[in-house]
Amino acid sequence: MSSSDGEEEESKDTIIPLENVYSLVQDSQSLEPLLWQQFYDRLEWFGEIPIVSSGASGLVIVALHGAGGSSMTFAIIAKLLRENYHFFSFDFGCHGINRKTDEEKLDVDSLVNEALSVLNYIRQQNPDSKIIIIGHSMGGAIASKAALLYQAQGYKVSGIILIDMVEGRAFEAFSNNEARINRMPKSFDLIKDAVLWSLESQVLKNVESARISIPSQLIEINGKWEWKVDLLKTRKFWEGWFSGMNGACLAVDAPKLLIMSNSDRLDDQMTYAWHQGKIKHRIINYVGHWIHEDSPIKFVEELDRFFSMFKFK
């Protein structure tokens, strides 16, 4: 891992080299799905929204997943943080086990309102706790906008953390994302086939992460396992998700951290904000877009560094 100021540290995470992926085919047990109970302590329903959590006291952390993902993308993070923090995540509509199935409700307003309702619910359950909001990719855009509305309601956000996405880079990546989605298999015979594909294609580089997060993104239809969310059908919502993301984030009156997979992930606006000291910026190397899944130990180290810096603990 290296930080934005050039520090170098050796990663402790188990990131599997591509040449070792193929040995997993010989050991099918190593690709079997893992259970949410191995990572989270509780599952509760807030209407149609499933909320999972770990830990029972301390700083409250609410994590928002990216498009196509689920709360299980944060499963290892939840396990690593459970001793010292109260960690929450939830599935957006049409994702994971959320009971909402209307894909027309994946527009920015629907997602922001869903996130805001969860934030208010968690605050009511933990009225004396500070709240940190984390968002990955689309989840980062929604986190920024929900945090700003939460602040406008008169409540305090203690910090906001964005993972590997800012507004300018999101818009630049739209065409590449469409091509990438078109290359994805549409279905699999077995769940473990999807897990193996995620590792072979280097979508994920951590076997444990793949075994808990990939199964949560699939649904069985006519004997085949297909993606729950058709990402190409969400294309019409992408501009709405990311437009105004940077401005919303910067308008939240709280410390901010961007965790990126490389220095090129910042756009001009956020680079300027970083130079002005308005945001903190850290880089974790040897990972893909799903930083917190590929390198969860280093990711948690960056969270601890950020929390200690601003004395959140």
Position 219, amino acid:
I
Question: Can you name the residues that pair with 53 across neighbouring β-strands?
Answer: 42, 88
Write 218-226 long-range contacts (CB < 8 A, 24+): 218/188, 218/191, 218/194, 221/187, 224/187, 224/188, 224/189, 225/187, 225/188, 225/189, 225/190, 225/191, 225/193, 225/194, 226/186, 226/187, 226/188
Residue 144 tokens read as 């920024």
Instruction: Quickly state the pLDDT bin for 30 (edges 50, 70, 90).
Output: confident
Give me the catalytic one of 89, 137, 209, 216.
137
The two most distant CA atoms of the chain are separated, in Å, by 56
Instruction: Look up 137 and say whether it is catalytic.
Output: yes
| pLDDT tens, residue by residue, 118-152 | 999 999 999 999 999 999 999 999 999 999 999 99
Using CA atoms, how far residue 37 sits from 22, 33, 43, 51, 75, in Å, is: 28, 12, 9, 13, 10
Give me the catalytic one of 13, 91, 164, 294.
164
| pLDDT tens, residue by residue, 246-295 | 999 999 999 999 999 987 889 999 999 999 999 999 999 999 999 999 99
Instruction: Look up 5 and say whether it is catalytic.
Output: no
* pLDDT > 70? residue 3: no
Q: Which helix (H) or strand (E) holds 32?
A: none
| pLDDT tens, residue by residue, 178-235 | 999 999 999 999 999 999 999 999 999 999 999 999 999 999 999 999 999 999 999 9
* pTM summary value: 0.92
Instruction: Look up 289 and say whether it is catalytic.
Output: yes
The pLDDT score that the predictor gives to residue 6 is: 37
**Domain 2-13+39-184+238-309 in CATH 3.40.50.1820:** yes
Residues for the chain: how many in total? 313
> What is the domain partition of the chain in residue ranges?
2-13+39-184+238-309
| pLDDT tens, residue by residue, 38-47 | 999 999 999 9
Give me the catalytic one of 65, 95, 289, 292.
289
| pLDDT tens, residue by residue, 225-257 | 999 999 999 999 999 999 999 999 999 999 999
Instruction: Quickly state the pLDDT bin for 33 (edges 50, 70, 90).
Output: very high
